[in-house]
Amino acid sequence: MDTENPPLTAGYFDVPANMLATIVTCLEMRTRPAPRPNPPSDGLMVEPWPSPATDAYRALYRRVGEDWLWVSRAVMDDDKLETIIRDPAVEIYTMTRDGERLGLLELDFREPGQCELAFFGLDQSLIGSGAGRIMMNAAIDKAWEKPISRFWVHTCHLDHPAALAFYQRSGFAPYKRMVEIFEDPRQTGKLRADAAAHFPVLQAE
């Protein structure tokens, strides 16, 4: 992800009806934080998912991310996606219960000395249950097992409204803010037309 971009001037800017605009916040931790206890697991486990099949990966990606307008991996070329998820420097984990995949955790170590929390998402049924703390504790443990000096993540206001505060409670500190404008994937058929009901689709006049 490129975090170096031209600055915007002060003022209002029109966003076309077929586009979305969101505020992206980048956060990082430079040292491993003090451990936080896990809540009761209720049968939930965080397990490695090495070299997942592309279709299975996309299905979980959509399950946990479509209502937050995750789109990049849903529309990515198969060859490009396979190159990423089969890279030995990319570690993928799932949160499971009774063999069912209910969460996606992806750690990207391709940049030497650092780890990006590339994807972190749960099935809607687990949000607010404590499952996020279990998966974040696993993410922190796995990231800092490696010889890194920086663990970072970005979120935006299209994500769950509690996401930013959750990352901060977990030990990440915000360091950069950006505006992202992109095509509304619900208007192109790339995502369900009724996805992300909290962020309405604008109809062009």
- pLDDT tens for each residue of 86-104: 999 999 999 999 999 999 9
Distance CA 146, CA 113 (A): 8
The model's pTM: 0.93
Measured over all CA atoms, what is the biggest interatomic distance in the chain, rounded to whole angstroms?
54
- pLDDT tens for each residue of 27-68: 999 999 999 999 999 899 999 999 899 999 999 999 999 999
Nearest C-alpha neighbor of 49 from the set 117, 97, 104? 104
Q: Are 107 and 83 in contact (CB under 8 A)?
A: no
How far, in Å, are 8, 72, 136, 188, 200 from residue 119 at the CA level? Answer: 27, 11, 11, 23, 24
